[in-house]
Structure 1
Amino acid sequence: MASSADISVAVVAGEVSGDMLAGRLLAGLRAQLPNARFHGIGGPRMAEQGFVSDLPMDTLTVRGLFEVIPRYREIKRIQNTLRDRLLAERPAVFIGADYPGFNLGLEMQLKAAGIPTVHFVSPQIWAWRGGRIKKIQKAVSHMLVIFPFEEEIYRKAGVPVTYIGHPLAEMIPLQPDQDQARSALGIAVDARVVTVMPGSRMGELKYLAEPFVGAVKLLAARDPGLRFVVPMAGDKQRAYFNELVARAGLSDVDILLVDGQSHSAIGAADAVLVASGTATLEVALFKKPMVIAYKVMAASWHIMRHMGYQPWIGLPNILAREFLVPELLQHAATPQALADAVWQQLTDAPGRLRLVQRFTDMHHSLLRNSAQESAAAVMRIIESPSS
Structure 2
Amino acid sequence: MSLRIALCAGETSGDQLGAGLVAELRARFPDAHFAGIGGDAMRAAGLDAWFDASELAVMGLAEVLAHLPRLLRLRKAFRQRVLAFRPDVYIGIDAPDFNLGVERWLKRRGVRCVHYVSPSVWAWRESRAAKIGASADRVLCLFPMEPPIYARHAVDAVFVGHPLADAIPLQPDRAAARAALGAPDAAPVLALLPGSRLGEIERMLPVFVAAASRLRGDMPGLRVLVPAANPQCRAAITRIAGDAPGLRVLDGDAQRAMIASDVVLLASGTAALEAMLCKRPMVVGHRIAGLTYAIVRAFGLLKSAHVSLPNILAGKPLIPELLQDDCTVDGVHAALLRWFRDGDAVAALQPEFLATHETLRRDASARAADAIASLLPARA
Q: TM exceeds 0.5? A: yes
Q: Conserved in 2, the CA contact under 8 Å of 1:195 and 1:230?
A: yes
Whole-angstrom CA distance in 1 between matches of 2:349 and 2:189: 17
Whole-angstrom CA distance in 2 between matches of 1:178 and 1:241: 25
The aligned runs of 1:47-58 (5 Å cut-off) are 47-58=43-54
> Does residue 357 of structure 2 align to residue 363 of structure 1?
yes
| Partner residue, 2:137 | 141
| Partner residue, 2:69 | 73
| Partner residue, 2:313 | 319
Paired residue secondary structure (2:221)? coil
| Partner residue, 1:269 | 261
1:294 counterpart (271, 275, 286)? 286
> Does residue 19 of structure 2 align to residue 27 of structure 1?
no
Whole-angstrom CA distance in 1 between matches of 2:346 and 2:79: 49
- Pairwise CA distance, 1:245: 2.4
User: 67-76 vs 92-101, which deviates more?
Assistant: 67-76
Q: Conserved in 2, the CA contact under 8 Å of 1:267 and 1:286?
A: yes
**One-letter amino acid of the counterpart of residue 273, structure 1:** L
Paired residue secondary structure (2:121)? coil
| Partner residue, 2:327 | 333
| Partner residue, 1:207 | 203
| Partner residue, 1:171 | 167
Aligned residues between the structures: 377
Q: Conserved in 2, the CA contact under 8 Å of 1:196 and 1:212?
A: yes
| Partner residue, 1:255 | 247
Whole-angstrom CA distance in 1 between matches of 2:68 and 2:235: 28
Paired residue secondary structure (2:266)? strand
User: 140-149 vs 219-228, which deviates more?
Assistant: 219-228
Paired residue secondary structure (2:354)? helix
- Pairwise CA distance, 1:33: 1.1
| Partner residue, 2:58 | 62
Q: Conserved in 2, the CA contact under 8 Å of 1:293 and 1:327?
A: yes
- Structure 2: runs of 5 or more not aligned: none
Whole-angstrom CA distance in 1 between matches of 2:218 and 2:366: 48
| Partner residue, 1:229 | 225
- Pairwise CA distance, 1:129: 3.3
Q: Conserved in 1, the CA contact under 8 Å of 2:88 and 2:377?
A: no
Deviations 1:120-165 (A, max 9, x none): 0000011113332232121010010010111111122111111111
Whole-angstrom CA distance in 1 between matches of 2:143 and 2:175: 30
Paired residue secondary structure (1:119)? strand
Whole-angstrom CA distance in 1 between matches of 2:76 and 2:125: 24
The aligned runs of 1:28-47 (5 Å cut-off) are 28-47=24-43
Deviations 1:188-223 (A, max 9, x none): 111111110001110110110110011111101111
> Does residue 116 of structure 2 align to residue 120 of structure 1?
yes
Whole-angstrom CA distance in 1 between matches of 2:40 and 2:240: 29
User: 273-282 vs 253-262, which deviates more?
Assistant: 253-262
| Partner residue, 2:374 | 380
Q: Give me the CA root mean square deviation.
A: 1.3
**One-letter amino acid of the counterpart of residue 383, structure 1:** P
> Does residue 145 of structure 2 align to residue 152 of structure 1?
no
> Does residue 96 of structure 2 align to residue 104 of structure 1?
no
Q: Conserved in 2, the CA contact under 8 Å of 1:9 and 1:93?
A: yes
Whole-angstrom CA distance in 2 between matches of 1:13 and 1:135: 20
Whole-angstrom CA distance in 1 between matches of 2:272 and 2:7: 26
- Pairwise CA distance, 1:384: 6.2
- Pairwise CA distance, 1:374: 0.6
Q: Conserved in 2, the CA contact under 8 Å of 1:104 and 1:135?
A: no
When normalised by structure 2's length, the TM-score is 0.97
| Partner residue, 2:301 | 307
Whole-angstrom CA distance in 1 between matches of 2:328 and 2:277: 26
Q: Conserved in 2, the CA contact under 8 Å of 1:230 and 1:256?
A: yes
**One-letter amino acid of the counterpart of residue 173, structure 2:** D
When normalised by structure 1's length, the TM-score is 0.95
Paired residue secondary structure (2:375)? helix
Paired residue secondary structure (1:336)? helix
**One-letter amino acid of the counterpart of residue 247, structure 2:** I
- Pairwise CA distance, 1:89: 2.6
> Does residue 237 of structure 2 align to residue 280 of structure 1?
no
**One-letter amino acid of the counterpart of residue 355, structure 2:** D
